[in-house]
Amino acid sequence: MQDLSSFVQRLSYSAHGHALRHSIGYLRRAKVATSITLLVLGVSLALPAIFGLFVLNLRNFDVSSEEANSLTLYLHIDVSDLRGVELAGEIQKRPDILYTNYISRDEALETFNNHFTLANATDTLDENPLPGAIVAVMASNDGDETRIELLSNEMKNLPEIEVVRYDLRWLKRLNAILTLVSRAVILIGTLLVITALLVIGNTIRLEMLRRSDEISISHLIDEEKELATRLIKSNDLGAAKQLIMSQLRFVVHIARGYSGYGLPLADLIQEGNLGLMKAVKRFDPEKGVRLISFAVHWIRAEIHEYVIRNWRIVKVATTKAQRKLFFKLRSSKKRLSWFNPEEVNQVASDLGVKPEVVLEMESRMSGQDTSFDLPVSSQNEENSSSPSDYIFEEGRTPEQLLVEDDQRSNQHEMLFTAMNTLDDRSQDILRRRWLNDENKATLQELATEYGVSPERIRQIEKNAMNKLKQGFSEH
């Protein structure tokens, strides 16, 4: 038992390996699908690298605004411009300073006057109130707060420098942004790699499922062909039943497409089943067509016939062309709603018919069945009326025709019964004298035929008529 289990397991591994090799071979043969898969894989691997380079460049970018990566050193008011230039040169010699720029008191005042609306107020002062300043751009922009604090403290200890300014809030925001972007890059890269793996795995899985479906369909086709052959050669009703039962779900699916005609779904399914039975009876497996492909036309034909037959009391479509127009026009009407002349011409052109035919069928489809005797709804039930109350026929009504036909039938029956009470000669004389509309016989003709006088024929006729009247009176 254990050997059998291990054999089955090895067989399963072998089958999966064969399917995997076939799937990889399919990827090699399907160049378009494989190219798309490789493209997804390449994009998935390239995007994290691109984001990584972006973060690296973001960390090492050269800030265009000096305030973003520089110290502003404000000198004491009494420091001369010459000493300020010398001090800027000394500071620039430091290894942690890239370069310096000295702003004299006059330049500071001019800049102030150009940028502020209250600049004219400085003209009232006796002397320039602004100190000179040195802008020291740092050599490194890694955002190390500790290093910047140490440099700021060293600058503050210089006797000529009064105030040192640096925007640490911007630095913190930059570090937060860099941290967030770094995490986003890691997350996006991970998701893209997982996506690439899922795409490749799903491609292989779909190919394996396709192969499995092909095998299942092949088995179904073989079984379907065998059952159809048994039905044709041996008239095997069991095979016919299996063929019908195997396709019933398709009948339900097709019938649901006609549920918008206001007819019961169960009836539509039943009509579709009749079409399926007809298709099974006429199915030939040697034609190379599956049963459902052949049967769908029969199923639709039966449902179409049922819909047209029951959609209205009076048929709206009788010819083949009208039936085709009925279903196509209904779908066009759903798409276009109400027709205008241009849309009528468009539908007629699409369906290959004249615009007059489209208008006639549209009017038939727009009409509704109305009961001849059912009262029309009214707020006052006593005054409600039906079409039979105001639609009159100039000739005789159906009720009158029925009464007359019934009376005529009764009279014929009474005449036949009364005639049977007469002898043959009397019956013949009455028939030829009164019941033969085409060529009535005269008394002389009957007298010559029977070898008696015309007076005798008249007497026989009179006696026969009296007996008939007596027979009618008894009934």
By the 8 A CB rule, do 329 and 351 touch? Answer: yes
| Domain assignment present for 455 | yes
The boundaries of the domain holding residue 439 are 409-474
Q: Could you tell me if 358 and 423 lie in one domain?
A: no
| Domain assignment present for 386 | no
DSSP state of 131: P
| Domain assignment present for 79 | yes
Number of domains in the chain: 3
Query: How remote is the C-alpha of 96 from its chain's centroid?
Result: 68
| Domain assignment present for 460 | yes
Q: Could you tell me if 416 and 364 lie in one domain?
A: no
Indicate the helix (H) or strand (E) that contains 141.
none
Closest CA to 250 of 272, 266, 271, 228: 272
C-beta neighbour count of 243 within 10 angstroms = 23
SS3 of 117, please?
coil
Task: Kindly list the distances between the CA atom of residue 229 and the CA atoms of 59, 223, 284, 343, 469, in Å, as whole numbers in the listed order.
Answer: 78, 10, 8, 51, 74
Closest CA to 132 of 82, 64, 66: 82
Please say which residue of 140, 169, 193 terminates a domain.
Answer: 140
What is the DSSP annotation of 275-328? Answer: HHHHHHHH--GGGS--HHHHHHHHHHHHHHHHHHHHSSSS-S--SHHHHHHHHH
What's the one-letter identity of residue 448?
A: T
- Residue in the structure block whose two tokens are 């691997």: 45
| Domain assignment present for 89 | yes
Please say which residue of 111, 140, 169 terminates a domain.
Answer: 140
Q: What is the pTM of this model?
A: 0.37
Per-residue confidence (pLDDT) for residue 368, from 0 to 100: 61
Indicate the helix (H) or strand (E) that contains 191.
helix 168-234
SS3 of 261, please?
helix
The tokens for 11 are: 């067989």
Closest CA to 300 of 333, 328, 273, 321: 273
For the chain, residues with pLDDT lower than 70 are: 1-38, 40-69, 115-126, 141-144, 167-178, 181, 202, 207-222, 312-339, 363-385, 387-396, 437, 474-475
- β-bridge mates for residue 138, sequence order: 97
Per-residue confidence (pLDDT) for residue 14, from 0 to 100: 62
- Alpha-carbon distance of 263 to 305, in angstroms, equals 13
Per-residue confidence (pLDDT) for residue 65, from 0 to 100: 41
Task: Kindly list the distances between the CA atom of residue 463 and the CA atoms of 337, 411, 452, 457, 466, in Å, as whole numbers in the listed order.
Answer: 79, 20, 16, 10, 5
Query: For 2, how many CA atoms within 13 A lie in the half-sphere containing its CB?
Result: 0
Query: What's 132's domain CATH number?
Result: 3.30.70.3040
C-beta neighbour count of 295 within 10 angstroms = 26
| Domain assignment present for 404 | no
Please say which residue of 121, 140, 159 terminates a domain.
Answer: 140
Q: Any idea what the Cα angle at residue 288 is, between residues 287 and 294, rounded to 5°?
A: 75
Per-residue confidence (pLDDT) for residue 67, from 0 to 100: 46
The tokens for 56 are: 């690296």
C-beta neighbour count of 179 within 10 angstroms = 11
| Domain assignment present for 119 | yes
Query: What's 469's domain CATH number?
Result: 1.10.10.10
| Domain assignment present for 185 | no
- Alpha-carbon distance of 100 to 86, in angstroms, equals 11
Per-residue confidence (pLDDT) for residue 23, from 0 to 100: 61
